[in-house]
Structure 1
């Protein structure tokens, strides 16, 4: 009501009196002790903007808002400041204020409050982008300055990468995609031919990603839904039949923006899942906004050119590190998932199969493929597709590719529902576990372990247990050093989370056997390898509850065998093991004593109860009311 009164007054009296009579009221209360009053000041700066002299708007009012954004402690006040800044941006016509506007946008984006950041995306950025478009700065200054900031961040090295800042810049860039598309449409060769006829195909509901606010809706940016429909029809026709000659705004996207983005993506560390997810979402929004023809003819070819996947190219991959970089998961999850027709899914499957083959045959790290699987696997809609890719690996002629497929199953087990695990994952792993190549069989162990850790179906667990038992008990594998290493490593990883019965009846007895046989190992470095791995596994399992019987029969004897190895191989490990053994022996003794004293302690607790009752009845006699009882426990002031 107060704001409506101020606006009615401002309309009536004109700019000069608003400046002289109303603005000082705001200025004086900028540091008022009540946040509600400061909120009113922040909101009135925006509400009164249209009725102020333009010099005052871009000087005094802008300064007031800048001060409040930087200094006000209340989130709701800064949120109102950001919204008012959006309104001010819509009225400022002094190009010299552009830099100040950009700095205010960055300040708002970096705010610690989510409310303020949301308001920045919903109001400030669309308003600032509209002004930048008016000035002709969107493609020449605003987007390039954000890209340069991203590049500078990445130059600091992946270990000191400030992920929060990267998110901030990328999210701003993402909010600029709709205005950028607006610029491309409004500066196209066909704009003079736009007519709002009745035969324009209506825009599909899913044609554009959902805008963060109405101000980010492309229809709003270009004027109306009808105008957008007419422009889109000509846009698609132009791309399909007439090309991009003379279309500078689109050529800038194709020749400047995309290559720079793809180059940035190639410098991101695959291990940074947050960055991958952010860039993936950015490309997804870009491709969805610019449409299918653009994605197929302009975006995909640029990625394909860099990734150059082909059978002949396998040897070159060893030197072509790009396949091990973030480019692979971002292309797979940000570009190839944009559209969901049959041919799009086929392209994604084919791409992942090619990456799997090329990385395997060139002995390259699998991180980029794993990252693609993790990002896609987060969405159940892609589980079938990922299993199709892996089945291609299972039946591949090269043992290297089959090994990779076996290792990739481990990533899928946790996210996929149990029916798919039973129908598709376990059969594939069983196939691989009888592979002619021992290396392939060994590669299935981590996935089998993860199944033991995550699945609850009894018969499925039994099948997996039988398979692991055959690895451990078949004489064929008696001297398989790398198989034993993989099994011990897997036991250490999944043992603490697996069901207790499996741990007690399977994991601990087998670790005991492996520790015993390692005492007989004559090859020094093999003995050290296994001892090191056993040490890791026992350390992980020592925090579990282990029954006395298992502790006495398997856990302690296994630890003692391991101590024998470490006495010869690593004295510092031997010290730790001795204290672990002492601790376990104490636990066993205490439990035995505890049981013997069980009957005594029950009697003691009964006596304890009796004493408690007596004490409480005494307290009751001391005080006549509950209030006085409370006073007994209050400290003297």
Structure 2
């Protein structure tokens, strides 16, 4: 009975849970139904709005066609009127010429665009209008305006013959009361008609064809006498297309440049620039982009004092824009703007903007800044020394502001800093900037060389003879010394702040050092660069080619404590191997140094065993450069076949860490044979070290041939029957489970069981 009650209670509980689940599903379905109803209503409204929009578009299209027909008819009517007016004018001129000798007065006739004809009597002897002989006015009403020009001309002739002493008519003679001549008046009338019509026409022109209206808009802006009308038309120009693409922006910008050329500085400042300022916070980034483009291109057509005040303020605000393309355009146009600045008053402001753009989160903006703005600032400001000083300060500051890797004071990790994503990006782009500045540093060093005779013969490289003269210490050469007194020590300091995982930044420093050796030459690399980095890792170096005055500076780089020595091995040794000895013409010296380091066990006479891990990591970093793989495997094979147990273990550790940087071919031809050799060694420590390396290979390669070789070797380890070997195999292969093939995964499960 008790069991039945328990069963019933459990069944009851399960039914209650099922009921709750059904209720929950019911609520979800009701919610989904409400959501679906809401979406149906929204779609219905959207459909109605779309139908209404289509209907409005049809109406607009019909209106546009009607406007086009009206414009066409107006043009035809204007052309016919001009032709008829020309005929009437010729008739009047011929009649006047026949009576010119006997008449003392002239009738001045004006034909306005509103078809009103005005006749004036002018005294030909005095040239002054007579009020008492007022002009005969033939002011047409709306009905009269329909008369033919021939009829108007006949009426003028009849009225003129009734006056005593009346002379022939002179058509379109200039007035003497300050009013514009008829031709100008007719032109102004046309401009007025155009200005009134354009704002009404633009909305009905398809967006992709609105640029065809630009000549009319430009003509109206340029010639209209009223400033408020011009402002309205300029506003229409900048708002002609809601979201202009690159080609449309280029067309609009070319139109603005042509307009600025024609209207002069004052009107460009008072009419075009205010429109730029109004658009600076526009919702659409395409319009803000148009503003950015206008800053660089219109600056040429305003007064110099406006360029580094108003226009610079516009650019500064655009640099803060949320749109990447806008900031990119701001950087480009700031570079165009700098040569037009009248003086250097705003230099430090521009330099600040340059560093802000260099550290921009967008790679596109950074690229534009490095390639265009940075060279422009250097050429304009001629303050390379100041830029370099600020640059090194920013590089170190970005790393030093980050928290330490460990809070245990006195440990190696307490000297390393955990870089955030933003700080890592800043250090990276600033190191890129340092590389971009290298040609300027090199050129300035050559230009300021205090030994002109030698510098002319050496070209662009620093020869040994020149370095010998420099070592004499008789003259100052700050542009040359900056590299090894300021730059290299700062980079060494930066490297000692970076954890081992920051390979990308270490790689960036290495590429800079390789670029220095390539540009400054082999003599500089051998006698200046190499001694600096040898001293920095605690080795002895030849300082013969340094002036005695700076020996203390170079020697100050030597690590002075055990912690400093570990940091130097961990952080500076990779730079020495890859960035200094890794230069193409130092290959033999790199091989010798690396063999000393690995095969003979030490560079110095007594190498602490605890530094082996740091040395292995330094060689691992060197393997990130594929050109050194062959040399490294040759040395590794020497270590594999050595009789020294520690060297064999180091070889297995090295093979394990370099696996991620090689391909399947190298793994099959170099790594696996070496590991098989180590795996057959009688020493258990060597064997276990090779098992870990086999696990790394299994983790990175899915090639069937490689997997089969690994299985064969793992079988050999398991056949030993050693519990420690079995544990080592399982531990090594477990990490490969998520990455390897099904075949090896099944094998791992079998080995584990």
Range into which the TM-score falls when normalised by the shorter chain: 0.5 to 0.7
Q: CA deviation at 1:347?
A: 5.1
Which residue number corresponds to residue 736 of structure 2? Answer: 494
Q: Deviations over 1:300-346 (max 9, x none)?
A: 11111122359xx9xx9787213442212233223332325643553
Task: Please give the alpha-carbon distance, in whole angstroms, between the structure 1 residues aligned to 2:273 and 2:570.
Answer: 56
* Distance change >3 Å, CA 353–CA 126, structure 1 → 2: farther
* Distance change >3 Å, CA 154–CA 94, structure 1 → 2: farther
Tell me whether 271-280 or 55-64 shows the greater mean CA deviation: 271-280
* Distance change >3 Å, CA 135–CA 90, structure 1 → 2: farther
Q: Does 2:508 match 1:262? A: no
Q: CA deviation at 1:406?
A: 0.6
Which residue number corresponds to residue 508 of structure 2? Answer: 278
Task: Please give the alpha-carbon distance, in whole angstroms, between the structure 1 residues aligned to 2:290 and 2:350.
Answer: 22
Contact in 1 for aligned 2:331/2:368 (Cα 8 Å)? yes
Q: CA deviation at 1:62?
A: 1.0
Q: CA deviation at 1:455?
A: 4.8
Aligned counterpart in structure 2 of residue 170 of structure 1, from 431, 434, 455 = 431
Q: Does 2:303 match 1:53? A: yes
Which residue number corresponds to residue 223 of structure 2? Answer: none
Q: CA deviation at 1:405?
A: 0.9
SS at 1:31 equivalent: coil
1:328-477 equivalences in 2 (<5 Å): 328-340=573-585, 342-343=587-588, 345-346=590-591, 349-350=594-595, 353=598, 357=602, 362-364=608-610, 368-455=614-701, 461-474=707-720
**Ranges in structure 1 where 5+ consecutive residues have no aligned partner:** 201-229, 513-637
Which residue number corresponds to residue 751 of structure 2? Answer: 510
SS at 1:268 equivalent: coil
Which residue number corresponds to residue 19 of structure 1? Answer: 269
Q: Does 2:463 match 1:236? A: yes
Task: Please give the alpha-carbon distance, in whole angstroms, between the structure 1 residues aligned to 2:680 and 2:528.
Answer: 45
Which residue number corresponds to residue 401 of structure 2? Answer: 153
Q: CA deviation at 1:174?
A: 2.7
Which residue number corresponds to residue 442 of structure 2? Answer: 181
- Say how many residue pairs are matched: 468
* Distance change >3 Å, CA 119–CA 442, structure 1 → 2: same
Greater relative contact order: 1 or 2 (C-alpha under 8 angstroms, separation 6 or more)? 1
Q: CA deviation at 1:458?
A: 5.7
Q: CA deviation at 1:180?
A: 1.9
Which residue number corresponds to residue 94 of structure 2? Answer: none
Contact in 2 for aligned 1:154/1:267 (Cα 8 Å)? no
1:611-630 equivalences in 2 (<5 Å): none
* Distance change >3 Å, CA 452–CA 76, structure 1 → 2: closer
Task: Please give the alpha-carbon distance, in whole angstroms, between the structure 2 residues aligned to 1:153 and 1:341.
Answer: 36
Q: CA deviation at 1:124?
A: 1.3
Which residue number corresponds to residue 207 of structure 1? Answer: none
Q: CA deviation at 1:412?
A: 3.2
Q: CA deviation at 1:77?
A: 2.1
SS at 2:497 equivalent: coil
Q: CA deviation at 1:179?
A: 1.9
Task: Please give the alpha-carbon distance, in whole angstroms, between the structure 1 residues aligned to 2:366 and 2:489.
Answer: 29
* Distance change >3 Å, CA 466–CA 77, structure 1 → 2: closer
Q: Deviations over 1:535-557 (max 9, x none)?
A: xxxxxxxxxxxxxxxxxxxxxxx
Higher helix share: 1
* Distance change >3 Å, CA 409–CA 237, structure 1 → 2: closer
Aligned counterpart in structure 1 of residue 372 of structure 2, from 123, 134, 138 = 123
Task: Please give the alpha-carbon distance, in whole angstroms, between the structure 2 residues aligned to 1:148 and 1:458.
Answer: 48
Which residue number corresponds to residue 190 of structure 2? Answer: none
Q: Does 2:498 match 1:253? A: no
Contact in 2 for aligned 1:82/1:120 (Cα 8 Å)? yes
Contact in 2 for aligned 1:357/1:401 (Cα 8 Å)? no
SS at 2:510 equivalent: helix
Q: Deviations over 1:481-517 (max 9, x none)?
A: 4x4443231121123433333443x4333322xxxxx
Which residue number corresponds to residue 587 of structure 1? Answer: none
Contact in 2 for aligned 1:75/1:113 (Cα 8 Å)? yes
Q: Does 2:62 match 1:62? A: no
Contact in 1 for aligned 2:396/2:490 (Cα 8 Å)? no
SS at 1:176 equivalent: helix
Q: CA deviation at 1:428?
A: 1.9
Q: Deviations over 1:10-44 (max 9, x none)?
A: 56666555434443332233234443433232112
Which residue number corresponds to residue 363 of structure 2? Answer: 114
Q: CA deviation at 1:132?
A: 4.4
Q: Deviations over 1:71-127 (max 9, x none)?
A: 3x3322221111111123334465442332232123223333332222111111222
Q: Please report the TM-score for the alignment, with normalisation by the length of structure 2.
A: 0.55
Task: Please give the alpha-carbon distance, in whole angstroms, between the structure 2 residues aligned to 1:330 and 1:154.
Answer: 22
Contact in 2 for aligned 1:111/1:117 (Cα 8 Å)? yes
* Distance change >3 Å, CA 346–CA 363, structure 1 → 2: closer
* Distance change >3 Å, CA 462–CA 44, structure 1 → 2: closer
Aligned counterpart in structure 2 of residue 78 of structure 1, from 327, 351, 362 = 327
* Distance change >3 Å, CA 70–CA 349, structure 1 → 2: same
* Distance change >3 Å, CA 293–CA 89, structure 1 → 2: farther
* Distance change >3 Å, CA 496–CA 21, structure 1 → 2: closer
Task: Please give the alpha-carbon distance, in whole angstroms, between the structure 1 residues aligned to 2:375 and 2:290.
Answer: 23
Contact in 1 for aligned 2:358/2:429 (Cα 8 Å)? yes
Tell me whether 446-455 or 359-368 shows the greater mean CA deviation: 359-368
Which residue number corresponds to residue 528 of structure 2? Answer: 298
* Distance change >3 Å, CA 43–CA 238, structure 1 → 2: farther
Task: Please give the alpha-carbon distance, in whole angstroms, between the structure 2 residues aligned to 1:453 and 1:364.
Answer: 28
**Ranges in structure 2 where 5+ consecutive residues have no aligned partner:** 1-250, 406-416, 541-557
* Distance change >3 Å, CA 254–CA 412, structure 1 → 2: closer
Contact in 1 for aligned 2:566/2:614 (Cα 8 Å)? no
Which residue number corresponds to residue 71 of structure 2? Answer: none
Task: Please give the alpha-carbon distance, in whole angstroms, between the structure 2 residues aligned to 1:351 and 1:248.
Answer: 36
Aligned counterpart in structure 2 of residue 325 of structure 1, from 551, 570, 573 = 570
* Distance change >3 Å, CA 459–CA 274, structure 1 → 2: closer
Task: Please give the alpha-carbon distance, in whole angstroms, between the structure 2 residues aligned to 1:238 and 1:11.
Answer: 57
* Distance change >3 Å, CA 21–CA 8, structure 1 → 2: same
* Distance change >3 Å, CA 64–CA 275, structure 1 → 2: same
Contact in 2 for aligned 1:79/1:116 (Cα 8 Å)? yes
Task: Please give the alpha-carbon distance, in whole angstroms, between the structure 1 residues aligned to 2:339 and 2:610.
Answer: 53
Contact in 1 for aligned 2:327/2:365 (Cα 8 Å)? yes
